[in-house]
Amino acid sequence: MSGILVVCTGNVCRSPYVERLLAAALPGVSVSSAGTMALVGDDIEPRVKAQLLERGVNAMGFASRQLQPALAEGADLVITASREHQRKVLRMAPRAMRRTFTLRELADALAADAPVHADGSGLAGVVARAVALRGRGPSRSDDECTVPDPYGRPGEVVAAMSAYVDETLPPIIRAIEVAGTAPSTGQQ
């Protein structure tokens, strides 16, 4: 398996934003992204890139790529920008079903799993917990599970996308950080 894959439509706004934030917060975890209708080879949309740079996150060296079945099948965790993206991933790579979540669904599942324990299980342990807790969070509409798409839209939508992601990422990052820590033996 190969870490976290983040999926949106064009792979120039939402998925690279999430990818780069996760990569910055989780340096020991491989994070990549792809699009269901990627603008192959394009850079991150300039306003989204500016949001990353404002947060001190590396936005350089990016090239959009098309989602392929092998990418989803090979990922430990697939995070999608919407339920529609989730459905597209699962039509393409049905074996990835257990480990494919919308960003909101994953955040809800992991936020419900407090407290998180340092057990050394890493990303695999986090995915197993999220699978076990899937659906235990609040019932959400498709709109609530959709990261706003700023592509070709006004600046307010870029801000809404950033706010949505900034709200949903903390429980995911915390769970992966803590689970990757070996349990304390109590010995000094």
Catalytic residues: 8, 14
- In this structure, are residues 85 and 54 in contact, taking their beta carbons and an 8 Å threshold? no
Q: Which residue has the tokens 């706003």?
A: 148
Sheet holding 31-35, edge to edge: 31-35, 4-8, 77-80, 100-102
Residues whose CB falls within 8 Å of the CB of residue 67, separated by 6 or more in sequence, listed in order: 7, 11, 34, 35, 36, 38, 88, 89, 92
C-alpha torsion sign, points 24, 109, 106, 55 = negative
Identify the helix (H) or strand (E) that includes residue 8.
Answer: strand 4-8
- In this structure, are residues 110 and 172 in contact, taking their beta carbons and an 8 Å threshold? yes
